[in-house]
A and B are shown apart, each in its own frame.
Chain A
């Protein structure tokens, strides 16, 4: 994944800082979009590419930490690099707990910033890949019949065909045929593959997926 394919968002109320950040990141090859306030950022249309957010803690309307909370609440997942002019420990702990990539104090050098940005972009790229994978698996899961889903849920718990047949009140042979179809529909090469997929889809033997 190259830097051109992703975007760095900057939110800072100081125009000079904003401009400097943009230029610095540009010089490192990043694409940058800047915002003067949190509200401006929330209202913006953002392209669906890997991205990260450089966020000043002290903002006039909504503070950086508040914006972070707001984004989590809205399910917007974007890695955040915090900047602060006067960082204290409780503030940075709160930010990091909420999923911040880095907490940099002003003034900062190019390398730590670029490292943090790169890490954040990488994380976002990874998250995006994960999210795409889960989406594909979920589509495959949709093709399973209810019986096949029941079989899948029980298979990934490690039960043998005989045990599953006992559980579902059917024969070994029937279960074996279901199991073959499940493996094919899900594109799983092995049982281990199937278990991993189920983990990603958060399928377990919980009552929601268990056969009625």
Chain B
């Protein structure tokens, strides 16, 4: 889409109603407040050298190259130049744009009401935000400019235009570094502008000159008609003369060169010898001798006096009408403009040279014969030859190592034959030699340039020893890393951000028996046990989607024996500076043996805990028997009485029904008791649920009440209402409380009746912890004994195996808590444990 807003520019007095104020679209102050990116001088330099190269290349579009240079250096979305039109600067036109606005090249904006005008008016850099809010005609130019950074530029102190860079989104705001870069580019803009201007003139001159030359050639062929036409055309000066110095005729072109009238010459008032300055008379004498001898005059450059005393440089050639005669014709070409053009060219070249000289790359040039024709300062530094020394030397003998010289010469010859060269127009890395014979790596690009029939080769060249060294170091460290990943005895893998596995080290391949080609994508899932595949896939998909660390335990098929073994795989993402995942790196660990050992240990622990429970229940037999026999007694008694009421004459149905009701009630009670006891006798695998500790305490006490009674001990509770639930295995927790209370009963039973009481307490303790304490008033424990109590096989009971406390402690620790003993005040012992409670809000 191309829009040319200049077609319908608003007149100055027609500023649209409601347009935003200028201040509201400016945010130049922010440039200094924003964090600035570091300057990239290397990139800038490269771009400027490319610009310089374009400026000396007659075929290059300098302004477009310049626009692209701005785009590259500022890393913006669009960049370009605005030049004031030559009709007095009423408008800006856009001669070159790079980036997203490129289709709008050729468009423009009014000088009086537009961002370019603002920049020139204020004579400083401005940063615009959404400038179409004010300059509504820019709304038609898409995409809209989120930000536009614009600087003015000048030629000979006069503003000629602006250069600018734009962002079309808020992905990045311009900063002070962009301003610096753009300002620096502004100076180049002036140079580019002048170059373009002079080149445009130059092209016109060259065209004229070529045309004249062809005419001259035809003239020289002696084609009289053509000569006549030539004479009449006044394209070149023509003079009919004799050897004595008289001019018998001259055409208008010649007359214009010397500014004499035909009269002056034809009447003999001015002879052609008078027109020649003294310093040219020798050359003239030689020409006359040649003319007499051969009848022909090879064209040569000389000067004529003009009538005003000034000189006109000319190219002069001619012939006698007849060999041996004295009359002839001379053709004269005015060289003054050509000389002037050459001067311009020289100036441009000087400017380009200053760029070339300051370039950080070595810039060298070579003619078609292989002779060095240019050699900048950096080349002097790199190679050790001064410019003066280098110019005129053979390129191959100066910088090319011996072994490549033949190839260089062959390549050069082939280029002239075929127009092709394998090393041309691209960046290559090659060896070069310094003056001291040291060979070193360079990065080189050679561009062939054609000037008429001759060729020139320009080369940009950079010493990359340092770079190669660091690249070599990098390569070596990569190699080292790769060797390490391939050698260490761990299984490693990596995956693309989309989750596709792209690398597995040798250990993985050895383990699974897969080939490197098999592991790409999700093929590795084939080695995962079908029962574990779904969970593992789900976990991986989740991590890939969210970036959460990956961890999964699964059985993996071991290639060597076809066994499924437990493995755990973990992976973390590597993130880029923008937070996006670049890669996943993971490990796989075979923990089959460890898992089995853990399982065996768990089983042993469970076994031990079970033995402990069964033994504890054995100690509780009397209480349990009482507990169970109570409801049984009630059942049998009620059953008997029911029968009796039914046997009455008449049967007492009401009493019988009541008795049957009691049977049911008591049987239900009995079943609940049996349930409770069975749970403790059962061998169970741990199952964690949300458990109310108070309920567990009450439950346990119901089993122990009679045990306490048997020993004349009063069993009291002090339970905090609404204690938070804990995550625990109910049976194990009950076992711990059972063990602690049983111990307390045992130690309390040995003291005086009045002191025989124990308290079970539950309370919130520290934040996130729940405390359960069993306090007795028994003989108590001393500090030395306190820890021995928890040693296995330490017991004070005749039938005990001394595992109650160690098991209780391991159960509590497995729940993330602590169990310990303290002195009770004023006497006795406190056995207590804390369990972590879930954090609020979870």
Contacts and interface: CB of A to CB of B under 8 A. Distances in A.
A104 B383 CA distance: 121
26 contacts: A16-B665, A16-B669, A19-B662, A20-B633, A20-B659, A20-B666, A21-B637, A23-B641, A23-B658, A24-B640, A26-B655, A27-B640, A27-B655, A28-B644, A58-B710, A84-B626, A85-B625, A85-B628, A86-B625, A106-B633, A107-B632, A107-B635, A108-B637, A109-B636, A109-B640, A110-B641
Nearest to A104: B633
Contacts of A105: 629
Given A16-B634, A17-B633, A86 B641 contact: no
B285 to A, nearest CB: 155
Contact of A24 (B622, B623, B626, B641): B641
Nearest to B640: A110
Interface string B618-632: 000111011111111
Contacts of A20: 633-635, 637-638, 641, 659, 662, 666
Contacts of B665: 16
B199 to A, nearest CB: 118
B111 interface: no
A25 to B, nearest CB: 8
Contacts of A63: 709, 712
Contacts, number: 92
A108 B629 CA distance: 10
A16 B655 contact: no
A22 B762 CA distance: 40
Main SS at interface, chain B = helix
A58 B706 contact: yes
B638 A23 contact: yes
A45 to B, nearest CB: 27
A83 interface: yes
A58 B709 contact: yes
A16 B644 contact: no
Interface of B: 621-623, 625-638, 640-641, 644-645, 648, 652, 655, 658-659, 662, 665-666, 669, 706, 709-710, 712
A14 interface: yes
Contact of A107 (B636, B641, B710, B712): B636
A27 B644 contact: yes
Contacts of A85: 625-630, 633, 706
A114 to B, nearest CB: 9
Contacts of A180: none
A60 interface: yes
Q: By CB atoms of chain A within 10 A, which of B627, B634, B658, B669 has the most?
A: B634
B177 to A, nearest CB: 89
A59 B738 CA distance: 22
B586 to A, nearest CB: 63
A27 B132 CA distance: 108
Contact of A17 (B637, B645, B652): B637
Contact of A58 (B626, B644, B648): B626
A63 B625 CA distance: 17
A16 B666 contact: yes
Contacts of A107: 629, 632-633, 635-637
Contact of B630 (A24, A59, A106, A113): A106
A62 B637 CA distance: 25
Interface string A22-37: 0110111000000000
Nearest to B644: A27
A21 B641 CA distance: 9
B745 to A, nearest CB: 15
B224 to A, nearest CB: 152
Contacts of B637: 17, 20-21, 23-24, 107-108, 110, 113
B517 to A, nearest CB: 76
A86 B626 contact: yes
Given A23-B658, A60-B709, A106 B632 contact: yes
Interface string A79-123: 000011110000000000000000001111110010000000000
Given A86-B625, A105-B629, 10 more contacts: A20-B638, A20-B666, A23-B658, A84-B626, A86-B622, A106-B629, A106-B630, A106-B633, A108-B636, A109-B640
A187 B712 CA distance: 54
B629 A16 contact: no
Contact of B644 (A17, A106, A108, A110): A110
B706 to A, nearest CB: 6
A27 B628 CA distance: 25
A23 to B, nearest CB: 5
Given A20-B641, A26-B641, A60-B709, A83 B633 contact: yes
Interface in A128-144: none
Contacts of B636: 107-109
Nearest to B666: A16
Contacts of B706: 58, 85
Nearest to A17: B634
A16 B640 contact: no
Q: By CB atoms of chain B within 10 A, which of A20, A84, A110 has the most?
A: A20
A26 B652 CA distance: 12
Nearest to B705: A60
Contacts of A109: 636, 640
Contacts of A19: 634, 662
A87 B479 CA distance: 84
A77 to B, nearest CB: 27
B626 to A, nearest CB: 3
A95 to B, nearest CB: 16
A14 B634 contact: yes
Contacts of A14: 630, 634
A90 to B, nearest CB: 13
Q: Which 10 A-B pairs have the closest CB atoms?
A: A85-B626, A27-B644, A106-B633, A110-B640, A85-B629, A20-B637, A86-B625, A24-B641, A107-B633, A106-B629
B619 to A, nearest CB: 13
Contacts of A21: 637
Contacts of B652: 27
Contacts of A58: 626, 706, 709-710
B653 to A, nearest CB: 13
Nearest to A23: B641
Nearest to B645: A27
Contacts of B622: 86
A60 B715 CA distance: 11
B716 to A, nearest CB: 13
Nearest to B622: A86
Given A27-B655, A107-B635, A17 B630 contact: yes
A86 B629 contact: yes
A2 to B, nearest CB: 17
Q: By CB atoms of chain B within 10 A, which of A16, A17, A27, A86 has the most?
A: A27
Contact of B638 (A24, A83, A106): A24
Contacts of B631: 16
Interface in A7-21: 14, 16-17, 19-21
Contacts of A113: 637
A23 B633 contact: no
B129 to A, nearest CB: 87
Contacts of A59: 709
A58 B706 CA distance: 8
Nearest to B665: A16
A108 to B, nearest CB: 7
A87 to B, nearest CB: 9
A59 B652 CA distance: 33
A128 to B, nearest CB: 28
Q: By CB atoms of chain B within 10 A, which of A24, A58, A83, A109 has the most?
A: A24
Nearest to B638: A20
A160 B67 CA distance: 163
B647 to A, nearest CB: 9
Contacts of B635: 20, 107
A17 B641 CA distance: 13
Contacts of A16: 630-631, 634, 662, 665-666, 669
B641 A108 contact: no
A105 B637 CA distance: 12
